[in-house]
Every structure is written in C-alpha cells, then in structure tokens.
Chain A
C-alpha cells in the first residue's frame, strides 16, 4: 500500500501541464526585486508619506474625540435629560395612626426640545393658548436657548395634556413626574415643611429626610419609586393636630391676638403629638412659607416664657435642697436690687410657703429661691435643663436662646420668674416635661418613637421626689391657683400660667403681653404636656379686661385638653385618683393627697 501511494505522489506533478509555470517565476522575481532592491531614497520617502498620512488621520480622530469630550453639550437623548429633570420620588409622610400627611402623585409635565422645534414663534403661540399659566415671552426665551431640554409647564391636568397632544407640535412631549401633595393643607405645615417642584426637601421634615440619605440615593442614580420607599411615620396625630389648630384659631380670634402657638408633648416619649403655630401657610403653595410672619413660633421664635419659668426655679430650689415644700419665703415687701425693684402681680405682703409662691405666682418668691441657689448653680441647672443651648430636633429650623452675656445676681433674679432669658417654647416644654415625667430630660422628636427609645439616652436631671413635688404644685395650682380655668373635670390637670410683658423699644410695655400656659395631665401619672402661647392677646370686657395668661392662654388650653384628651386615648376618669402622690406621702406631706379647696381669687 505504501509503495503504491508513493508512486502516485511522485507521478502526479508530472501530469500537470508545465506551460504557465515556466513564465510565472520570472514576473514574481521582477516584482520582488523591484521592492527589495535599489533606490533606497524613493522608498524612504514613500514610507514617510504613508506614516504622515496615517498620523494625520489619527490626529484628526483624536482631536475630534477631545472636542467631543470638552464640549459641554446637553445630553442628546430626551430620556437622559429627563432623568435629571424629573422630580424625584419621596417617601410618604404618615401620622402616628397611618393617615397620610404628605404623598407623591403622578402628574404629567410638558417639555420641549428647542432644537427640534421648527417654528418657535408658532409653538409659543399655540402652547400659551392651551396652557394659560405660561408666560409667552419667557417661554419664547427658553425655546430660543441652545438647551436640548426645557420644561414648558410642570404638572398639567389630563385635559390640558390632551389639548397639547392635539396640537401635534414636533419637539414637544410629556413626562410623568412625581408631585408632592399635602392633602391636609396647613395642618401640621410647620412640621412637614415642603419640597420643591424638583422633589428636594426645602424645610421641615421634608428637608430632614433628604439629609437622611434620600438625596444621596437620588444623586447616585437609583431609580426610586414611591412604592419602594418606606413611608416615614411622624409623631403627630392628625385629628388632634387639627383640633389643636382649630381651638387655637378660635382663641386667637376671640382674644384678637397677633399670633399664637400650641403643642402637645408626650412627656414620656418626647413625641410632639400635635402642634400648630398661627398664622401658618399651606405647603401646597410653598411661596407663602417665606413670609417671616409664618415662622414656627415653637422652635424658631425665642421668647421670655414668663411665669412658666417659675416651675423650673422652684424645681431647682427643691432639687438642690435649698427649700422644702414647708419652707417659708419672705414676700412681705418688694425685692430691691440696686435701682431695680421686683414686685408681685398678686401682691400678698406676707410670708409665703413654697406652694403659695407657686400658686400666687410670686416673682419675689421665685427670685429669692433662685438667689438661695446662687448664680452659678442657677446657670448650671438651666444648662442641665437644656435652656442655654440650641435645641436640635428633626426640624432644621431652630433658634439659639438669647442668654445674657454678663449674668449677674439681677439676671438670676429676673430669669427665675421668666424675664431676661429668651428660649424657644419647645425648649421650655422639654424642661417642664422633665419636671413632670419623673426627672428625665427627653429630647422632643417629630418622629414616632417608643418610651424606651425616648428615655434610653435621656439624662436624669432632677430627683423623682422633686418631679412629684412639681406635679403636686401644678395640680394644686389648677385646684386653687391661677390655672383653675384649665382644670378639666376627669383629667386631673395641673398647670402653670405665664404672662410676660413684651419689650417694646427696650422697655417692658404693660399693655402688650405674651401669655403662655403649660398644663400636664393627668398629674398623678403624666402623659401629656400642653402648651399654649398667645402673642398680644387683648382683655375681654367679660373678664374685666384682664389679659393675663389665665384668662386667654389658659382658657384655650382647657378647650384643647377637653377636645384632644379623648382623641389621644385618655378617657376622662369619673373620680379623682386616690393617693396621687405616693412619694410625697412617704416624705410626710400627706396633705398633698387631699384635694385642696378655696384659695380665694388668686
């Protein structure tokens, strides 16, 4: 077999005709010789030429690439441009019972691509005819720009969309966007804040949630939809918030006050359950929010809290052991300090017991108690109670308290009864909440939280006995003192009034007052702290023209308690609790557990 194959192989070439083969080697040889040999100067030139041509071509390509890279061209595709322009999705804001406070709805927006519009003037004319809110000149200007993408109008109605669609303009289209809506209007507006048209939080909780990483997620290009964002549950109760705002509005109208605010704080968790500050605004029309008259008076405004501050002074004196509930304070005469004299509004001209100092709201008594503690101890105590530094909550808007620069004895005396130190009302609420809840300074929050979370990092600022004494004093004040007007049957309310003369041109004006009222309920086991403040309420003839806090802020607080108590899950109790202050009874103040009577007209 092998032999046979070999022979075949050898014979085959012989059979092939050899005629062309005889000439081919000659041509090839000639060609190759032309390439390889001779004329070196000419070949170098050719190689160089080729190299230059290639270099030029690559240079053009590179230059073009750099050109593309450097030119700040708006993105060509609409989809890409729209992703940057469309309002981002935001999580829903719910009240503590799951009612919606803020949510996103899908709306259509009209956009245009100026480069693709053929007749811009005609487009402007047609678009402004169907979209009444669009300014023709402004639109013409925007369409004339070299941008690839401009909004014509955000958030149009389905009817308008159909009309624009029927125009059949090239280069005009629609995009679905998220629009932030606040179905409850101005209720809780100050807490919610608002978001811009582009879905960026501008104030309130809206800004806070942006700061919690939402803005970063959007920036990183995550496609967030309302469905995959977890709703945020606030501490507010929608119905209670409405009731508070409603009663406050009625109170402001009745007493012809300039402004007012009210809040309900859960003293154990630190949650703000309801709050209102009037005048307010509708977050659906955010331009109104910029009016300086529409600020949140509870956290942005700082005020002299007046006599409500006496609660803090008395608590300090009790907690430091300077006085006991049985101590007597000299209020026989006005207190002189240099050229200043401190008077009492309800002057008694006798020795007062500590409870009497509280129920008569004695300036002299409070000043003397603060002096017993001394300037440094007073300062330290107020600092511990968070009254000298800015209170930070979730709301980005907050104000620094106005603390006197040179704090002397006179300052301590006046601050003891609430003059000379301006704090945010929310801050004062935090302190009074600590006096009521057993002594824990719980930072207020606008987000839902449990009692454990609230108290976990809350420092103890006063002893439990002091807290119970304060509850007793506040209850006593509601039984026989200045807070009787808010003693709503069944809620065992305790309270403290505060009337501060307003400073007009550097002097305290007698006729313009700032009244506050704080109430705790129920006093034996406090759950809620109520605060109402009214700016320049007028006295009513049926009250004898008095404009002190008991007549206005106290009345409003009483109405609010009456209305919100059942809403907030506290049914009225048919009878007063037996032994409401067990610690005091143990310390030998058995009379604290007996309901007080009388008290005259103070």
Chain B
C-alpha cells in the first residue's frame, strides 16, 4: 500500500514537474512572441508614419496643381459654377423611354401575335422589336 503511494507520488511529481516546465517554456515563448510582435508593430508604425509623410508630400497642393496644369485639360473653377442645391432644376418626371419608342414604332399593342397565345405579356410584345 505504502509502495503504491510512493510510486503514485513519484509519478505525480514527475508529471507536475513536466507540466511546470512546459508552462514555463510556453511563457517564455509567448513573451518572446510578444516582444517580436511589439517590434513588428513598432516597425509598422514607423512605416505608416513614413508613408503618411510621403503621402502628404506627394499630395501637397503645389505638386498636384503643377500636375493638373500639365496633364488635365481643366480650367480654374469660377464662382459662377458654384450654385446652391435649391437653384438646381427639379427632377424630371419619370419617363418610360423604351415604352415611348415602342409606341412610336407602333408596337404599343401586341401586333401580329400567334392566335394560340391567349396571354398577352410585355415580353411577347417586345419580341418583334428585336
């Protein structure tokens, strides 16, 4: 009985030792990962800072205007081109342009349909237009 207890104790000791070491090494591993990631984050942040500076440098108004003058066929905006939303013309009523065109061509009524087709649907009336 005592011997069994001893063996059990030894086994428990070894397992707990192994477990403790595993945890320890995992902790070290994670700590290293954290440090590595922190370095990476810092590097990325530095890069972001660099890119932001570069972006600001490349989109500075001086350069954009020079490029626009050279490559774009645009004029300087005149104050008369700025209008309020109220002064814009109202929305035109919805017009079924295709329907009107069909009407003008005389396809408003399903013409020359097959005698056996009892149902008149828009698709059928549109077919002759093709």
Contact = CB atoms under 8 A, between A and B. Distances in A.
Nearest to A241: B61
B53 A239 contact: no
A176 B39 CA distance: 13
B79 A242 contact: no
Contacts of A490: 79
A187 B61 contact: yes
A68 B44 CA distance: 43
Interface in A486-504: 488-490
B100 to A, nearest CB: 36
A183 B50 contact: no
Interface in A546-602: 562-563, 565-566, 571-572, 574
B53 A242 contact: no
Interface stretch (A44-52, A96-104, A292-300, A392-400): A96-104
Given A181-B53, A488-B79, A490-B79, A574 B62 contact: no
A103 B46 contact: no
A184 B49 contact: no
B84 A571 contact: yes
A351 B50 CA distance: 67
A226 B49 contact: yes
Using C-beta atoms within 8 Å of the partner chain, give the interface range for chain B: 20 to 34
* Interface residues of chain A: helix, strand, loop or mixed (majority): mixed
B60 A185 contact: yes
A239 B61 contact: yes
Contacts of A181: 53, 57
B56 A106 contact: no
A100 B52 contact: yes
Nearest to B57: A183
Given A239-B61, A565-B79, A574 B49 contact: no
A242 B62 CA distance: 7
A562 B84 contact: no
Contacts, number: 63
A227 interface: yes
Interface string A532-545: 00000000000000
A305 interface: no
Interface string A177-200: 000010111010000000000000
A105 interface: yes
Interface string A492-518: 000000000000000000000000000
Nearest to B86: A574
Interface in B19-49: 42, 45-46, 49
A185 B57 CA distance: 8
Interface in B38-89: 42, 45-46, 49-50, 52-54, 56-57, 60-62, 65, 76-77, 79-80, 82-84, 87
B56 A572 contact: no
Nearest to A561: B79
Interface of A: 99-100, 103-106, 176, 181, 183-185, 187, 225-227, 238-239, 242-243, 246, 488-490, 562-563, 565-566, 571-572, 574
Given A100-B56, A103-B49, A106-B46, 18 more contacts: A99-B56, A100-B52, A104-B49, A105-B49, A176-B46, A183-B54, A184-B56, A184-B60, A187-B60, A226-B45, A238-B61, A239-B61, A242-B61, A242-B62, A246-B65, A489-B79, A574-B83, A574-B87
Interface of B: 42, 45-46, 49-50, 52-54, 56-57, 60-62, 65, 76-77, 79-80, 82-84, 87
